[in-house]
Amino acid sequence: MDHVVPRAQGGQDTWLNTVASCAEDNHHKADRTPEQAGMPLLHQPFVPSPADAMLLAMGARDRSELPEWLGQSAA
């Protein structure tokens, strides 16, 4: 996990200020914003819906990775 606006620059632990990041990129970005580090975001942060939260909790990237019975009910 990485903060878009680093905590060192006043960033908070919110859905809209956190993104997934590998350790190498997180270390490279350090206490800079993506713009300052020259690392544009691939996706904008968002507040997950209940269905998105279920996907995250189950470790799935999208509904196609869920069991068929669960993927249909979450739609």
Q: Domains in the chain: how many in total?
A: 2
The predicted pLDDT at position 54 comes to 77
Give pLDDT tens digits along the chain (75 positions): 899 999 999 999 999 999 999 999 999 999 999 999 999 999 999 898 887 777 777 776 666 766 665 555 544
| Residue 1 lies in domain | 1-44
The predicted pLDDT at position 42 comes to 93
- Examine the domain organization and report whether 61 and 73 are in the same domain: yes
The predicted pLDDT at position 27 comes to 95
- Examine the domain organization and report whether 51 and 63 are in the same domain: yes
- Examine the domain organization and report whether 39 and 57 are in the same domain: no
- Examine the domain organization and report whether 40 and 68 are in the same domain: no
CB-based contacts of 17-23 (< 8 A; 24+ apart in sequence): 17/45, 18/45, 19/43, 19/45
Q: Check: CB of residue 34 under 8 Å from CB of residue 17.
A: no
- Examine the domain organization and report whether 30 and 58 are in the same domain: no
Structure tokens at 64: 């196609």
Counted residue by residue, the chain has a size of: 75
- Examine the domain organization and report whether 57 and 74 are in the same domain: yes
* Backbone CA torsion sign across 20, 18, 42, 54: positive
- Examine the domain organization and report whether 39 and 51 are in the same domain: no
